[in-house]
């Protein structure tokens, strides 16, 4: 984490503590502190990892999740899709949630969109086993709809803990749902893609979801340009 990130985190922690003491000036101070950076390149909301906080490995997180019944997505799922890849990966890809094929196999990005993602990973000079792939939620939303806020709130702490343990050098957010929920922003993917953001000091590259590319082949070039920036960042 950069010095600036550490300072911002200390400020946030101090403000939260002050609020618990009932200090009425905190709200104004907090608003002023957030003016340090008005764009989306600063660190974003840090989620309490809750049950997974004490996990020391990805397996610990998986064990904590268990046969999860924490939200309504459990009602229609076949398999929990935890994540796959190198637990010490330099790159972590994050999507929104499992689809039909992923729900059947218990592995993220194995359908048509997953095959395209694999091609992108290979073009970057990696194999799937060299990176880590996960989703914002670990159970398939009905009819592949976007996960709802309560579902994300329940599930994202486990993803956050995964990222904290993996400590990737770069995170790639695939699509709006992943980008908006990880970075805690309402900005559209079209406005964010191609420009590095920051999450807990880690560079984040938002880009289009492979499923979007299947419907809009003309956007493959911009995504490849994004991945070239990721490769450059890794080699810096």
- What total number of domains does the chain contain? 2
Same domain assignment for residues 81 and 174: yes
Same domain assignment for residues 14 and 80: no
Same domain assignment for residues 110 and 14: no
| Pairwise CA distance, residues 175 & 150, whole Å | 19
Same domain assignment for residues 95 and 20: no
Is 71 contained in some domain?
yes
CATH label of the domain that carries residue 73? 3.40.470.10
Is 174 contained in some domain?
yes
Same domain assignment for residues 54 and 1: no
pLDDT at residue 11, as a whole number: 46
pLDDT at residue 31, as a whole number: 35
| Pairwise CA distance, residues 100 & 111, whole Å | 8
pLDDT at residue 50, as a whole number: 78
pLDDT at residue 186, as a whole number: 96
pLDDT at residue 9, as a whole number: 53
pLDDT at residue 36, as a whole number: 30
DSSP conformation letters of 124-193:
TT--GGGSEEEESSSSPPGGGPPPPHHHHHHHHHHHHHHHHHH--SEEEEESHHHHHHHHT----HHHHT
Q: What is the pLDDT of residues 94-113, one digit of tens each?
A: 999 999 999 999 999 999 99
Same domain assignment for residues 105 and 12: no
pLDDT at residue 20, as a whole number: 43
Same domain assignment for residues 32 and 111: no
Same domain assignment for residues 15 and 107: no
Going by the DSSP 8-state scheme, the letter that residue 67 receives in this structure is S
pLDDT at residue 236, as a whole number: 86
Is 41 contained in some domain?
no
| Pairwise CA distance, residues 82 & 217, whole Å | 29
What's CA 86's distance to the chain center, in Å? 16
Is 42 contained in some domain?
no
Same domain assignment for residues 24 and 60: no
Low-confidence ranges of the chain (pLDDT < 70): 1-48
| Pairwise CA distance, residues 70 & 47, whole Å | 17
pLDDT at residue 40, as a whole number: 41
What order do you get walking across the sheet with 197-199 strand by strand?
84-85, 132-135, 91-95, 170-174, 202-207, 197-199
Same domain assignment for residues 91 and 200: yes
- Residue 199 tokens read as 């999450």
Is 16 contained in some domain?
yes
Is 210 contained in some domain?
yes
Same domain assignment for residues 105 and 182: yes
Is 95 contained in some domain?
yes
Instruction: Say if CB 110 and CB 101 are below 8 A apart.
Output: yes
Of 3, 29, 26, 12, the closest CA to residue 184 belongs to 12
Instruction: Say if CB 40 and CB 180 are below 8 A apart.
Output: no
Helix (H) or strand (E) holding 207: strand 202-207
Helix (H) or strand (E) holding 234: helix 220-235
pLDDT at residue 44, as a whole number: 46
Same domain assignment for residues 104 and 189: yes
Domain enclosing residue 107, as ranges: 47-235
| Percentage of the chain modeled with pLDDT above 70 | 79
For residue 227, give every residue at least 6 positions away whose Cβ sits within 8 Å of its Cβ, in sequence order, or none: 120, 123, 124, 172, 205, 207
């Amino acid at each position: 984490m950069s010095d600036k990130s550490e300072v911002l985190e200390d400020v946030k922690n101090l403000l939260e503590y002050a609020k618990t003491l009932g200090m009425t000036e905190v709200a104004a101070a907090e608003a002023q502190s957030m003016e340090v950076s008005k764009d989306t390149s600063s660190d974003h909301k840090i989620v309490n990892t809750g049950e997974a906080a004490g996990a020391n490995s990805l397996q610990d997180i998986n064990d904590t999740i268990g046969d999860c019944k924490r939200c309504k997505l459990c009602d229609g799922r076949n398999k929990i899709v935890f994540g796959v890849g190198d637990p010490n990966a330099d790159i972590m890809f994050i999507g929104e949630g499992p689809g039909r094929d992923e729900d059947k196999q218990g592995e993220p990005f194995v359908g048509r969109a997953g095959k395209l993602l694999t091609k992108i990973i290979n073009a970057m000079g990696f194999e799937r086993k060299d990176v880590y792939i996960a989703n914002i939620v670990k159970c398939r939303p009905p009819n592949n709809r976007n996960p709802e806020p309560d579902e994300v709130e329940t599930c994202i702490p486990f993803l956050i803990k995964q990222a904290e343990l993996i400590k990737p050098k770069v995170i790639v957010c695939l699509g709006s749902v992943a980008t908006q929920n990880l970075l805690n922003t309402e900005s559209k993917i079209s406005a964010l893609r191609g420009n590095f953001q920051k999450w807990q000091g880690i560079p984040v590259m938002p880009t289009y979801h492979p499923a979007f590319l299947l419907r809009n082949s003309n956007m493959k070039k911009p995504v490849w340009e994004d991945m070239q920036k990721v490769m450059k960042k890794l080699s810096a």
